[in-house]
Structure 1
């Protein structure tokens, strides 16, 4: 039997929901021959807490809010994280999402962690040319990221698409001195998200997203209004939380959506599979700056056709081979283009089935979580 050296792996994130939803299979694989520690915001779901305990993962909770700007909250997080790194003395430090990456990478260098593997799961608002974010916050975020990712032989930076790494090179945050790796998103567990034949009567469009402007909520609502005026039997559903994010949609738009006249708003759910199963087509008109949007991968795995934006991260989910088409790319902020592609599926319902089948095959060949996790193990110099 191969002699495997047990390592201490420290994972830091800004959402407890993402731990098992996005990294569950990775944590299972890591914990098999190593000891995994996680530092996560308060765990609200008892199922998450019990599963981490069952796996033997050692868990610490923070008060970090990844979406909002709070200097006091961030300072408390930095101090707590520093103490934990000193206490755990990890062999591998794996932060993902912005604040954990920025603060954690910097602290891990100070604490001389042997291997630091930050994963940027999308660049968000602050790295687009036409960002509407506060200019000072944009400037500070970019500066902090540059400082935290300063070249270091112990630093392996992970991206979920090539566009993001190229954007940071363009902004001179990264250079050729950096060790950069690209993996195919978070991957999707094809044994958990099983293929089902899409329903086409009634044709149902589903969007899964936080209710923030940059995800294209208004574009989805406007396109749904256009379609329902001509095809009143068409169903539109929306899953996702409405919270205090700095880019949250306007309360008036939320009120219109919540009425249910145009879109059936479901809110946040713990398991999206039943709703995907009842959907015909998955929609995400995002211009947020995604890594690779998870909801699109889940839809593909379950055999659903896609309509998404020709924007960073989103475009990764649509096969560029026209012979293996699994969906459509539309221009950003274009509700009419979105409605046009929705109408295509209404008038060509056979494409819902064929695009869905091709999307499932695309997910199997490129986004299978086992393939992605194998790549991550290589980057983190872990033995499988």
Structure 2
């Protein structure tokens, strides 16, 4: 009994360690709609925001009123914010093109960085970012909403156990009606539909999810080739970028189909893994089902409802804090890792080339 009590005390101490050492967070940009997830996370004891850099004064004023942000932590220039507040880490919530500039300013100062998906607009930017992260030994992570899905963790575990046999095909479907139709804020819309600042349209915005998940499922194995088709079905809303994309990833022994769209009538983030014996489906962030074939079109079905992932894997900012405080490590090719997301950018680069040339692009 005494040893059990001692164990529980030690466990409690480890659980509370991150909360006792909150990391100082700087925020680079506020034009990404996902910033609401950070500003609204008032009860997170693992982080403290010490500075926010945003040059759009209208946006700053609106968010200050919305979230009660103290004027003293607001800056119009990122470099000034870094030098005056000296954060442990920076979260990037601006356009994707600016991710490189964030790392260029943070890495030499020893400041860790997490950006919103994807890592970079192209491989040239991604390689420069990785070189800086390696040189200055900082963490450089990429945040996806789907990383924190309990359903994806369950799906991964079942695939690794061989629940449906050898995997032959994976389908990942992500998207919604389109940024303008769902009413994203004008500051977000302005760069989300800009081919330079976003790198593309739906193929980047939602194609990155499937590339990320496929790389994770395959433990870092790159596809042999990438073939993509894009369309522009809402020219009036997305005049400069695609809004419909299908990416086919050919591996040695399987195929991945990534459908990123701004034309789904109902928003979705789901995936299916087909094996020789059956199929595992993550229907949303909580629900998973496994169907094992019993005949031509018959099967046994098992359903799972996953409440949420365990702490700190249930929150991107708590996870980032735990990494910086050396409570946990970024495992190779996991969803947030630099290794995984370098491959994601390589896949997206190839997908754009394929869509433009109408040819299959082979990867090295």
Q: Same fold (TM over 0.5)?
A: no
Q: Quick check: which one's helix share is greater?
A: 1
Shorter-chain TM-score category?
Answer: 0.3 to 0.5
Q: Comparing both chains, which one has the higher relative contact order based on Cα–Cα distances under 8 Å and sequence gaps of 6 or more? A: 2
Q: Quick check: which one's strand share is greater?
A: 2
TM-score, normalising length from structure 1? 0.40
TM-score, normalising length from structure 2? 0.42
